[in-house]
Amino acid sequence: MFDCSVCRLDLLLIIFFATLVVSLVSFVGFLVTLFNKKIQEKMIFALVSFSAGALLGGAFLHLIPEALDKLESISVFLLVIVGFVLFFILERALRWRHCHEQKCDIHPMSNLIIVGDGIHNFVDGISIAASFLVDFNLGVLTTLLVIVHEIPQELGDFALLVYSGISRVKALLLNFVSQAFCILGGIIGFFVIKDSILPVYILSFAAGGFLYIASSDIIPELHKEKDIKKSFSSFIYLVLGIFLMLLFTFLEIKI
């Protein structure tokens, strides 16, 4: 299934490195604090809009087509729906939501942020492992999709933890611990789903999760923007995210 000349140990190391890079994204919150508040808001706004497009493009242009090559269409789309619904249940059960602004209507308790984010990161790790087991290039692309989404999420989580009274150092450490569950998910995913058709099923599930995050979480936040210029710029960034995924499709992301 894995179309690459690397051995199993090399593949495990690749998955470990990919999930480690994703985990290090947790420190992006501190880097953004080096800029003034106005620049921070512009950066977060652009990243959130871009990530919505990248997640939509990644799901529709890469993950779902890859799964359709190996499974019946009804199976693929049922799994996409399952992924979408389970991500919805996860959010409702933990009363946890992605908050991309420091001021939100609902402020989840800090422990719920960490628990919810940890579970989500664990699923991301499994998705990354499954993608690499299917195809190396698809694994790289899935890792990039996770990173693109995690950057604005980590900025929001860091802001919320600090806002709830936690020190910046402790907030960074808690964010990293939560993000490190991606590594655990990647390693467990490698050993559990090896040598089977299961990675393809997980790709469909992951696509449903990406679609949920983009359509039910990020895009509604963008709709709250009333300024016409900002709304138009968010649309441009969203299109750029989709275009990047389309570009990878044409280039077949040969890495």
Q: Is residue 3 part of a domain?
A: no
Q: Is residue 8 part of a domain?
A: no
Q: How far is CA 161 from CA 113, 120, 195, in A?
A: 8, 17, 41
Taking 80 as the threshold, does the pLDDT of residue 43 lie above it? no
Q: How far apart are CA 191 and CA 149, in angstroms?
A: 26
Q: What is the mean pLDDT of residues 185-211?
A: 83
Lowest mean pLDDT among 76-90, 127-141, 186-200: 186-200
Q: Is residue 192 part of a domain?
A: yes
Task: Indicate the average pLDDT of the chain.
Answer: 79
141 near 101, Cβ under 8 Å?
no
Q: What is the pTM for the complete model shown? A: 0.70
Confidence band, pLDDT 50/70/90 cuts, at residue 151: confident
1 near 199, Cβ under 8 Å?
yes
Q: How many domains does the chain have?
A: 1
Nearest-5° Cα angle at 224, 223 to 229: 75
Q: How far apart are CA 85 and CA 91, in angstroms?
A: 10
Q: Is residue 49 part of a domain?
A: yes
Taking 80 as the threshold, does the pLDDT of residue 15 lie above it? yes
Q: How far apart are CA 252 and CA 255, in angstroms?
A: 9
More confident residue, 150 or 64: 64
Confidence band, pLDDT 50/70/90 cuts, at residue 94: low
Confidence band, pLDDT 50/70/90 cuts, at residue 236: very high
Q: Is residue 6 part of a domain?
A: no
Looking at residue 188, its pLDDT comes to 92
User: Where in the sequence is the domain holding 76, given as residue range(s)?
Assistant: 36-251
Q: Is residue 5 part of a domain?
A: no
More confident residue, 205 or 252: 205
Taking 90 as the threshold, does the pLDDT of residue 18 lie above it? yes
Confidence band, pLDDT 50/70/90 cuts, at residue 102: very low
Confidence band, pLDDT 50/70/90 cuts, at residue 70: confident
Looking at residue 100, its pLDDT comes to 45
Q: What is the mean pLDDT of residues 165-186?
A: 86
Looking at residue 20, its pLDDT comes to 95
Token pair 């001021």 in the structure block, residue: 103
Give residue-wise pLDDT tens across range 204-233: 888 898 898 888 877 887 888 788 888 898
Q: Is residue 99 part of a domain?
A: yes
Confidence band, pLDDT 50/70/90 cuts, at residue 55: confident
Taking 70 as the threshold, does the pLDDT of residue 107 lie above it? no
Q: Is residue 19 part of a domain?
A: no
Nearest partner of 189 among 11, 7, 3, judged by Cα: 11
Confidence band, pLDDT 50/70/90 cuts, at residue 134: confident
